[in-house]
């Protein structure tokens, strides 16, 4: 009687080589195969969406890097002119007080560090994009 109950709960029979389903072998295999293909399609779709997001993020970082590089170049090009500005001209430029602001060199250094961080992010994104695109 114990084997009858276990047979009703688990319709599997243990053989010497493994487990064999007692009923609906083909239907269970087909259902498993169908679920696997759906999971694969879903995974592929997820990978494509992630890839698109990474590409968009990479483009935004590229634009940010270009703008920052142009700003740094402009600061370096106009360094002499900016150093000669009077304090009132500095204030009109949006700089509050000399004690609270960075020197031109400090500002350039800060922006160079930010540019380096952007470049590092772009490298990581490029590697992620490569890995995601090779999964297709």
Residue ranges of domains in the chain: 2-134
pLDDT band with cut points at 50, 70 and 90 for residue 37: low
How does pLDDT run across 57-70, given as a tens digit for each residue?
Answer: 999 999 999 999 99
Q: Please state the three-class secondary structure of 32-100 as a single string.
A: HHHHHHHHHHHHHHHHHHHHHHHHHHHHHHHHHHHHHHHHHHHHHHCHHHHHCCCHHHHHHCCCCCCCC
94: left (phi over 0), alpha (psi -120 to 50) or beta: left
Specify whether the CB–CB gap between 65 and 115 falls below 8 A: yes
pTM across the whole model: 0.55
Token pair for residue 26? 């083909």
């Amino acid at each position: 009687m114990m084997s009858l109950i276990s047979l009703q709960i688990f319709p599997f029979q243990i053989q010497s080589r493994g487990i064999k389903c007692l009923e609906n072998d083909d239907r269970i295999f087909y259902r498993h195969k169908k679920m696997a293909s759906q999971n694969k399609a879903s995974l592929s779709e997820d990978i494509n969406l992630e890839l698109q997001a990474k590409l968009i993020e990479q483009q935004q970082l590229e634009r940010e890097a270009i703008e920052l590089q142009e700003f740094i170049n402009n600061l370096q090009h106009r360094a002499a002119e900016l150093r000669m500005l009077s304090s009132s001209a500095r204030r009109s430029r949006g700089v509050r007080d000399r004690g609270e602001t960075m020197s031109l060199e400090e500002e350039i250094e800060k922006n160079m560090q930010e540019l380096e961080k952007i470049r590092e992010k772009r490298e990581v994104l490029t590697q992620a994009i490569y890995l995601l695109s090779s999964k297709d």
